[in-house]
Amino acid sequence: MTSMNQQWRLVRRPQGTIQPGDFTWHEIPVRPLEEGEVLVRQLYLSLDPTNRVWAATDSYLPAVAVGDVMRGVGVGRVEDSRHPGFRTGELVQGLLGWQRFEISSGRGLTRVPSLPGVEPAMFLHVLGHIGLTAWAGVLQVGRLQSGETMVVTAAAGAVGSIAGQIGKIRGGRVIGVAGSDEKCDWLTRDLGFDGAINYKTQPVRARLQALCPDGIDVQFENVGGALLDAALAHLKIGGRVALCGLIAGYAAATAPPGIANLHYLVSRRARIEGFLVSDFASRAREAYGELHGWLTEGRLKVRFTIVDGLGEAPAALNRLFDGSHDGKLLVRID
């Protein structure tokens, strides 16, 4: 029997938050496989801030072409295979797109290891691109040392919550910046952060001064804008900014105001370094080994917000920008 595919196609470059008319829903039969192809049934689709960038403009990847299936990372099961490298029933991860089924040549598709007690969704969180980003940003780019102070923005989100916990595991003092009291309580009570700042209700610069009286060694930056500007003024001599993302600008109708405190990089002999998770693909095995170990020991805690149904994907993407999710945001498809 022919399976039906369901897809979201991009039909208009979004302006501001995602609007209902930016994507259209399609239902088409899955075509038969050709030699060398593999059919994947997607289980979970990862919603990432970068999806909003991919829909709008060229970045480190070309923008999704208008009319194409929206790009997205997912985890799924091989439904059928005419590819020598993949067997029916195997769990795989890759750019499966905003659709129920993906026909792949196998390029960019990786087999997910079978780890006892580990749910497939975990491979889109701490044991996937999120965990590797946090690991690389804290340890390779920020080079956090024991006893140093690290500040993390979007700290209750997917990358931020893992980055902060890695900082604690490695002996750092960690302060999180997040958008609600509930999120701040989670950081300090459950994840062991040393302090948290609700940037929506508290004066960030004054709170950074109070919580980091000797300055910031590592700024793990996920947001940019006013939060990054405030942190630059508190960098220690030799401070490092691991520039992971700038979500404050991704869906903004106009570009956020520029950085006023750049001059502190001179007087503090500090550096700011952008990075992409893909730069650390060669370290993935080492990173996942450490992350899985910490997870198994209960030293890393994770939270998910799981939205049911592929139909919800466009509206759910906006939750990354208004903060109405906890931890990793996923769509459960099957």
Ligand X SMILES: NC(=O)c1ccc[n+]([C@@H]2O[C@H](COP(=O)([O-])OP(=O)(O)OC[C@H]3O[C@@H](n4cnc5c(N)ncnc54)[C@H](OP(=O)(O)O)[C@@H]3O)[C@@H](O)[C@H]2O)c1
**Residues at the interface with ligand X (CB under 6 A):** 48-50, 133, 154, 156-160, 178-180, 183, 222-223, 244-245, 247-248, 275-277, 320-321, 323, 325
CB of 143 to ligand X, least distance (A): 16
Q: Which residue has the tokens 């690290």?
A: 150
From residue 126, give the alpha-carbon distance in Å to each of 15, 149, 158, 287, 304.
31, 23, 8, 10, 11
| Dist CA 328 CA 312 (whole Å) | 16
Measured from the CB atom, is 96 or 277 closer to ligand X?
Answer: 277
CB atoms within 10 A of CB 306: 13
Helices 204-211 + 225-232 axis angle, to 10: 40
Residue nearest to ligand X (CB): 157
C-alpha closest to that of 169 among 144, 189, 132: 144
CB of 272 to ligand X, least distance (A): 13
Q: Which residues contact 224 (CB under 8 A, 6 or more apart)?
A: 245, 246, 247, 248, 249, 256
| Dist CA 275 CA 273 (whole Å) | 7
Measured from the CB atom, is 30 or 231 closer to ligand X?
Answer: 231
CB of 323 to ligand X, least distance (A): 2
CB of 253 to ligand X, least distance (A): 12
CB of 274 to ligand X, least distance (A): 7
CB atoms within 10 A of CB 305: 16
Measured from the CB atom, is 236 or 303 closer to ligand X?
Answer: 303
**C-alpha triplet 214, 184, 324: angle, nearest 5°:** 135
CA dihedral 91, 116, 45, 327 (to 10 degrees): -160
Measured from the CB atom, is 18 or 38 closer to ligand X?
Answer: 18
Confirm if 164 and 138 have CB atoms less than 8 A apart: no
Q: How many CA atoms lie within 13 A of 214 on its CB side?
A: 8
CB of 322 to ligand X, least distance (A): 7
Strand partners, 151: 175, 219
Tell me whether residue 78 is exposed, middle or buried, using C-beta atoms within 10 angstroms of its C-beta: 0 to 12, 13 to 18, 19 or more.
buried
Measured from the CB atom, is 104 or 133 closer to ligand X?
Answer: 133
CB of 187 to ligand X, least distance (A): 10
Measured from the CB atom, is 264 or 321 closer to ligand X?
Answer: 321
Q: Which two tokens stand for residue 323?
A: 């903060």
Measured from the CB atom, is 280 or 294 closer to ligand X?
Answer: 280
CB of 225 to ligand X, least distance (A): 6
